[in-house]
Amino acid sequence: MTDRLIVVGGDAAGMSAASQARRRRPPDDLEIVAYERSSWVSYSACGEPYHIAGEVDPLEALVARTPEQFEERGIDVRIRHEVMALDTASRTVTIRRLDDDYLFDDHYDHVLIATGAKAVRPPITGRDLPGVHELRTLDDAADLRAIADRGPDSVVIVGGGYIGLETAEAFEARGWNVTVISAHPGVLDNMLDRDLSLDVVAAMRERGIDVITDTRVNCIVGTDRVRAVEIASGELPAVAVVLGLGSTPEIELARAAGIPIGPTGAIVVDDTQRTPVDGVWAAGDCAEVRHRLTGRPTNVHLGTVANKTGRVAGINLGGDAATFPGTLGAAITRVCELEVASVGLSESDAVAAGFDAVAGTARGTTIAGYMPQTRPMTIRAVAERGTQRLLGAQIVGGPGAGKRIDVFATAIWNDMRADDLEWTDLSYAPPFSGTWDLVAIAAREASRASR
């Protein structure tokens, strides 16, 4: 008897799972139908700012596979179909076809919830005015690219996280006057300690981006469309506003169906991506994962985690066995020429998690100091006192700095000590690093602090 898998959500986690299940089970053994409410599937949301900046063209370059390509592989993808309800007793989903509002039910043996995350929309007056945008989908990216093409003019970015800063970089690259408003004392507060965050703020201001910190938006001003953003000190003129205040897991479908929601606000799953409800799976931004260091559930919105958890779900749905080994939350971004990266726990987060943690900081350059292309770089490493076990790292620096975070990710993943990393045989040539790479020097500082 042929089983039927319904996938709710057609991006990273959903289509990774569908593809892995299909590789292991042919269509006469497993039917796969994916419902996606937008016009796109299997695309790189992380690449959207670079389309706005004009670095990536056309928009379709961000699409990994089209519905037609999935159809050739035996996966039925239906775009502009929104799953409205999930009945776990009858194993049915109710779908609305968006082009004509037609409602119908579909039966499943297994259903994978891969609904992702949605943008945080604060209760700000004027947020629904024309000219106020988010950046989640490819349609959002197309709208903001069209605005950028009409400029340059003035844009206000509300929020100092990944999305906000990458969008600011995109508009700055197009010659726009860019203002970023952050409610926090700095930016990227989920990645960086305060002092390193302020280094990013200083670099942005030096580049000409106006960064206003410790400030909240009173309202967005306009009649027929946005005209300005009002803060305590006055109005900031803007022909466009981008809300980049982060994202929250899209769990309404699961919650209404009685699927357990965990302490992070995301769907509860085990390491195989099964929920506690028979036949229901979840993966990607909407689901919890286990933090590899703390062992506690966490909810991270990263393309790497979405693809991996989708892959794990698909392998299991296909009849083989896989478990998700946890996450360290490794992340990297770029703001103009400044690269920012982090992995694992900050010192304060490690202490809050119960570790006796200390940090060591090294400041130097991205390559040999005498090379003309050299740029400043700071690396902070966190270790456990006594054991010297590495717990986290943060990096802020010029070109070539950011991907050094992967050395720390590998070390932390494999429970290395700070003094182990200090003496690891890292490569050297003047165009790439100093004789002692700053990774090793930061590890040395963490080792000294943790003895």
Residues with a known catalytic role? 46
| 39 in Cβ contact with 80 (< 8 Å) | yes
| 335 in Cβ contact with 203 (< 8 Å) | yes
Phi/psi at 328 (5° precision): -110, 0
Chain centroid to CA 262: 20
The Cα 285–Cα 307 span in angstroms is: 10
Token pair for 295: 């062992």
Burial label, 65 (beta-carbon count in 10 A; 0-12, 13-18, 19+): middle
For the chain, the farthest-separated pair of C-alpha atoms sits apart, in whole angstroms, at 70
